[in-house]
A and B are shown apart, each in its own frame.
Chain A
């Protein structure tokens, strides 16, 4: 084992933190795609590195059992993994897997609850709520407060916004962000950035559909102001992103980035994909497959 084992993950973590720092100068649709890929890859790279180091630590502890492990899963050199690295890697990987599993459970539970709600009447509350519930039996979940407070044109904006979430399957982007932040807590900022990009994306879709940016901005402001004020410690200072969304809608529509968007997205995909593949030892798998093919061919 060498310190290079941790290099791909370190690069991914740096990239993820940097992307969480500043907004990307791209159309929100491309920002969201790029951020979601980075988030998903970072989570996979972290778990891959952890599991790999864990297997090799176990192999250093029990060399006789290591004979049964396929060769590609072991480090090329026969240097044992020191306890100082092995034990934290083991514990952190378990914690990461636990966090990922817990996220998956919460995700499923929340979706199911929302689906039950979406199948019935509007929510019985004066708070204006609109939620896009993905899935075949999903839809747009509205509250009574929203129906009674908004005009039909404003309601149209809400529907266009939520339909955009459903059409582009934004819940998968959010899931990637949730997973990344659960496995790698420093990526919390990346997740917040991704969440905002997804909302901005739906805002832009709604603005295009209704052809009135100010109407969309006003509807968002109106609904947000009718929410109960943020409660709980620190919540009063938390950034909901609503002001940024309204500000963005007051300006002109962002460029579609028909060339830079796909280019940056693919570039980022290749880099993060390669790094993640390395942590999963996929390069070694490939080599061992080729070698066996050549040997038997």
Chain B
């Protein structure tokens, strides 16, 4: 069976899991997600992620605790590296969310982020 691409909720669950320090129960993940998804939905997604071997789980009482199964600093190797090279090809045909910056652009963006962050720090 071909594996489906990572869906939005799957990605959000992974992000939530990463935000919770890499391991959490379903209830903790549900609490962290936007838009109040149903407990069973999140459970299904965690099950799917488990099948994709993106999370591992250990039984704790009547439920599972989930853990990010991949080391985030994992080396870029082999097949993945090849695809990454394609995906990041600057002359490429695909549109990337953001491209590499020149030094000047990086400076301008840092200034912008500093200004944008200020109201939050104050509040």
Contacts and interface: CB of A to CB of B under 8 A. Distances in A.
A131 B102 contact: no
A126 B18 CA distance: 13
Contacts of B27: none
Contacts of B33: 152
Contacts of A125: 76, 80, 84
Nearest to B74: A124
Contact of B75 (A124, A218, A250): A124
A277 interface: no
A78 interface: no
A220 interface: yes
A131 B67 CA distance: 26
Nearest to A113: B86
B97 A119 contact: no
A137 interface: yes
Task: Determine chain A's interface SS by DSSP, over half rule.
Answer: helix
Interface stretch (B2-10, B38-46, B58-66): B2-10
A107 B93 CA distance: 6
B44 to A, nearest CB: 18
A218 B116 contact: yes
Interface in B1-35: 2-6, 8, 11-12, 14-16, 18-19, 32-34
Interface stretch (A69-77, A241-249, A285-293): A241-249
A148 B72 contact: yes
B95 A110 contact: no
A125 B79 CA distance: 12
A143 B12 CA distance: 13
B51 to A, nearest CB: 11
A241 B99 contact: yes
Given A113-B82, A159-B8, A147 B96 contact: no
Given A114-B94, A131-B94, A218-B116, A148 B18 contact: yes
Nearest to B80: A124
A121 B84 contact: no
Contacts of B92: 110
Given A217-B116, A236-B102, A242-B109, A198 B95 contact: yes
A154 B82 CA distance: 27
Interface in A104-142: 106-107, 109-111, 113-114, 116-133, 137-142
Contact of A132 (B53, B80, B94, B105): B94
A35 to B, nearest CB: 14
B122 interface: no
The 6 A-B pairs with the shortest beta carbon distances in the complex, nearest first, are A139-B5, A224-B98, A117-B83, A130-B97, A230-B100, A240-B99
Given A152-B15, A235-B102, 6 more contacts: A121-B70, A126-B73, A142-B6, A156-B34, A162-B97, A227-B101
22 contacts: A110-B94, A121-B6, A122-B11, A124-B75, A125-B76, A127-B84, A130-B96, A144-B74, A148-B72, A151-B15, A217-B116, A220-B97, A223-B98, A224-B106, A225-B109, A225-B110, A230-B101, A235-B100, A241-B99, A242-B99, A242-B101, A246-B109
